[in-house]
Structure formats: C-alpha cells, structure tokens
Chain A
Amino acid sequence: MRGGSRIRTVRELRVSILFLAIVAVLPYFVIVPYWRGVLIVAMYFALVSAAWNLLAGYTGQFSLAPAAFAMIGGYGSGLLCYHFGISPWIGIPCGTLAATVIGLMLGRIVLRLRGPYLALTTLAFAEIVRLVISNEYEITRGDLGLSVTPLFEHQLNYYYLFLFLLVVVQIGLYYLVRSRAGLYLQAIRDDDLAASGRGVNVVLWKTVSFAVSSGICGLAGAFYVHFIRLASPELGLILQTGLVIAMVVIGGMGTLIGPLIGAFLVQLSSEALREVGLSHMLFFALTVILFGRFFRSGIWGGIDFLRDKWETRSESKEIMEAGGSE
C-alpha cells in the first residue's frame, strides 16, 4: 500500500471527520424518531467497535469481552441509579471507571496469553460476568433488568451527545495511534517478542490498551443504558460481541475509520433487512465469513486499494504522456 502507515492514518482521520460531519447534519433530513434512534444505536456500536478495534486491530489482542465491559459500565451506573438514586451524571463516570479498572485487571491477567487462549479466557470472563448479573436477582433484578433514569427528555440531545462522544473518541484514538504509544501497540501486534527485544514495555502497553479499550466500552455502555432507560444482561451477550466483531471486520480492522463505517453499515442494513423480513444476523454472519475469507482489509481496505490503483494509473498516464511528448 503506497503512502505508508502514517499517511494512511491521516487520511483515515479526514474521512472520519467528514463522515461524522454528515452524521451531524443527518437529523435535518431524517425526521422520523425511529430512524434517529437507529442512528443513535449505531453510534453506540461505533464507540464499542472503535474500542475493540484498538485492542484487536491495533494491539493484536483478540478479546471476546467488549460487550461484557459495556455491560459492566452500564450496570455500574445503573445499580447506583436504581438502588441509591444517584444522578446518571455521576453514575456514568463511575460505571466507566469500573469498566476501566476491571479491564486493567483482566488485561494484567491475560498478558501471557495469545490467540485462541486469549479469546477463550476473555470469553469465559464475559460469560461469568453475564451469568452473575443474570443470577443475582436480589441486586440486579436478573433478566428483568434495572430501569434507570434518562439523561434528557429529547431524543435529539442524545443524538448529539453520542455524536460528541464519538468525535472525541475518534480524535483521541487518532492521536494515540500516531503517538509513540500507538507505534508500540502496533509493534506488539505485529510481533510482541521482537517488540520486547526492541525496548517496548510489552507488559505495560498491553495492559494500557486493555484498560483504555474496556474503559471506552464501559463509557459507551453507561451512556447507552441511560438512553434506553434499561440496564439488562442482554447488553453483554456473546451475540453483541459478535456484532461488534462483524462491524469491525466488515469496515476494516486496524484502521481508524473501519469501525465507524462498519457500525453504521451493519446497523442500518440490519434495519433495512428487518423491513424486508430477512434475518439480518444471518446476512452479517455470512458477510463476516466472506470478508474474513476473501477481503481481509474490509470495506475501507477495498476503497483504499481502489484509490491506490487509481493513483498509480493516473501517474503512469502522466509518465506516458510526458514521455510521448519528447
């Protein structure tokens, strides 16, 4: 791929900002509350996808627990709200903190694990957390969930709140990826043994990546819970993690914009398919398999590839023309 990793990242940020600018003006065209709601859910997933992409796409740690951390964030805030009447504006930071701290601990625990071992351990963790929440009816009301107070009265406020979060996270991730920390993470992803030998504190950065990723998931979950006014164990189902993975794979893993494209695409198509009566999960599962099998770099990778082809073509045209005029 021409241009190298640095230029790619800048390009991805520009397109992300453009994309989010479009999302910002969409409510002028999309007036139906239902569809605005769909877009808000897409933004929730975009946040979780971006977080998971940081961990898996940039650091190479394929965790199967992102949905669990969103759930932890959601319940962190939800429990405080339900049992003690604490305002969500305090509850949400608490939920996010909980997710970050637990993510830090889990990250520290799974340090030496790779590939399937890491995936399985995080899967086990996710299932245990979900089972605990489902079973401890006294505290969590189990599968009924906790009803929590909303943040705003108007849907549009939620829309721009989530958009704001998304913009902040995207820009934050951009600076992270471009910083030396970002290089360290990618080095760890590409070869963590060599990275250690070249001076990278693999222990530290793997843990940091885990904590940040879990924190963002928790943040998203905490806000989401106050949007739908319910904290439920459904938030942490493996199915949700599956959706997140699908979104990132389809959009383009290891890129800034992949999770963004993927989340909106999957969420919107999912609604469209529902209208037609087809099972959206079936379609996405198939898409994940096909992308995994044939289009490793996802949709963004495809766009990038075509753009490179176009650039090389116009370059060779220039060269030929220059040569021809001699």
Chain B
Amino acid sequence: MLIFDIIVTGLMMGAFYSLMAVGLSLIFGILKVVNFAHGEFFMVGAYTYTLLSLNLGIPLWLALPCSFLLGAVVGWLTERLLMRPLYDKYTTWSVMRDEYAIIVTFGLSLFLINLANQIIGPYPYRGPQLVDWSRIEIGPLMISGHRFVASLLASAMLAAIYLFVRYSRWGKEIQAVAQNRLGASISGINSTRVSSIVFSLCGGIVAFSGGLLAPLFHAYPAVGIFPALKSYVVVVIGGMGSIVGSIAGGLLLGLLESFGAVYISYAYRDTFGFIILMIVLLIRPHGLFGEKVREV
C-alpha cells in the first residue's frame, strides 16, 4: 500500500536526518553557535567510505568505522584550531561571536569543498552498497536492502548517542556544560575538553551518515550541502540543543518530504523543509522544543 511505503521511506530517511541533526544540536548546546561546515563532515565521511572500499579494497564493515574516525579527527581539528576564540576572553570577536562563528565556519566549508575538488576531483564516486539484496520484502512493503540496513545502523547509532549523553560520565559533563558553562568549569569540569569531545563526536556521527548515504548520494565535493541545510532545518524545528527534539524533528522532516514528494511536488521535495523552517522561525524563533532565552 502506498501510504505505508511513503511512511517507511520517510522514516528511514528521517533516521539519517536525525543523526546529522543530533551532532549539530550538541554543538549548539555547548557553544551556542551554528557550525556552517557541518555538511563537510558529511562529505569527509562519504569520501572515506567510498574511496577506502573502492580504491583500497577495504571491507565495508571496516570502511564505515573509518569514516567515523576521520570525521571525528576533522571535528577535533576544527574545534582546536577555530572554535577556541569563542570561549577565550582575549579576542576582539568576543562581542560578535555569532558573526565570528558564521564567517569562520563558512570559510571552512568553502575551504573543504574546494580542497576536495582540488585533490580528489569533481567526479562523483558511487559508494558500494552495504548489502547485496537490492530489495527486501517486509510484509506489504518492498524496501531497498541497503537503505534498510543503513537506517537500522543509523538508528542504532542514535540510540547509542542518546544513552551516552544521558547516562555516561562524559555525557553528563556535556549536559552540564550545555546548561551552564561557567558553573560547570567551577565544578571542576574541563569545559574545553568537553567542547573537543562534542566536536569530535559530531564530526564522527555526521561522517558516519555520509558513509551510510554514499551509495545513494554518491561522494562529490558539494555532497554535504543539502544534508547540512536539512540538518539546520531539523535542529531549528526541534530546538537547538535538544537531542530528543532533533530526533523527532528529523523523523518529521523525513515524513514531510516523503509525503510532499508524492502528493505535492517531486521537483520541490527539497524545499518543503526550508519552507517549514521559515514558518517555524517566524512563529517560534526558538524552535518547537528548544529553550527560550530571556534577553533583557
């Protein structure tokens, strides 16, 4: 039945959106700024997975974790080199931290895209599918085998992150810093190290998504732009800094696009998210789940 098909497709895609959004959300929770190079972590993962398996013949079950790792490294470097001034006192940018974050991460995004273009080339590489079954039958539905497995992995990763942040010691430190950076430092938490962890984690998760989606989206320099844009939509709708919100938002966006593509317009399926974004921002500038910030 068509409806089930649409719902399942939407949820599967939504799992990926949620995964990417959670990373962005964590960063925002810690640093209160948006990372415009988010999509490039995705690209790094897509390339790692694809090139390792195609060119170096590395088995897929190893290539995926490698994408995670490389993404984590890139995330760590980004934080270490570029994000420190956001919480250092001695900077001329301290008044305009939003501006700084946008400029620097935007620059990073352009840099990474063009670096990939220069070193690897603009030709898209098709990542190998995780499983050979092109179609699986589950009840009345026919789903692509790879998508099914990939979304299961994405969901597993989501669950793992949720549990990690909620219950592990590092996770609790993350929560503490997100709520009150100064207070957390005074309590003995090394907030700089927490920032490093969060950025590395985010880089890893997003790169992992890139690897998972490489067979669908392929790997090319600008591959991360649209997934990143959609992550922003999810994070804003779900509330910046809220993991649950990001998960809910991601699934919602997946469903929305799925229904929209069939019932409204296939050509504009990518715009529904943006339109919803604009509407949500106008009505509730802090998203549906995020915290309201008192201004004066």
Contacts and interface: CB of A to CB of B under 8 A. Distances in A.
Contacts of A239: 110
Contacts of A279: 114, 117-118
A306 interface: no
A257 B277 CA distance: 35
Interface stretch (B133-141, B166-174, B200-208, B278-286): B278-286
Given A281-B114, A297-B92, 15 more contacts: A62-B98, A109-B278, A114-B98, A116-B28, A120-B232, A238-B225, A242-B110, A249-B103, A285-B110, A288-B104, A288-B106, A289-B107, A289-B108, A293-B82, A293-B85
Nearest to A122: B278
B104 A289 contact: yes
A115 interface: yes
Nearest to B81: A293
B296 A119 contact: no
A128 B271 contact: yes
Give the contact-size bracket for chain A.
35 or more
B277 A124 contact: yes
Main secondary structure, interface of B, reads helix
A114 B34 CA distance: 12
Interface in B258-275: 267-268, 270-271, 274-275
A120 B277 contact: yes
Contact of B236 (A120, A292, A297): A120
A189 to B, nearest CB: 9
B295 A193 contact: yes
Interface residues of B, number: 45
Nearest to A135: B267
A124 B295 contact: no
B82 A119 contact: no
Contact of A292 (B107, B268, B270, B274): B107
A121 B277 contact: yes
Nearest to A243: B110
A113 B229 CA distance: 18
Interface of A: 56, 60, 62, 109-110, 112-117, 119-121, 123-125, 127-128, 131-132, 135, 193, 238-239, 242, 245-246, 249, 279, 281-282, 284-289, 292-293, 296-297
B41 to A, nearest CB: 16
A249 to B, nearest CB: 6
Contacts of B85: 293
A245 B117 contact: no
A288 B107 contact: yes
Contacts of B30: none
Contacts of A245: 103, 106
Q: What are the 4 A-B residue pairs with the smallest beta carbon separation, nearest first?
A: A115-B98, A288-B107, A285-B111, A285-B110
B12 interface: no
A289 to B, nearest CB: 4
Nearest to A127: B274
A193 B296 contact: yes
Interface string B70-109: 0000000000001001000000110010111111101111
Contact of B111 (A123, A238, A249, A289): A289
Given A127-B274, A128-B271, A282-B111, A117 B106 contact: no
B233 interface: yes
B34 A116 contact: yes
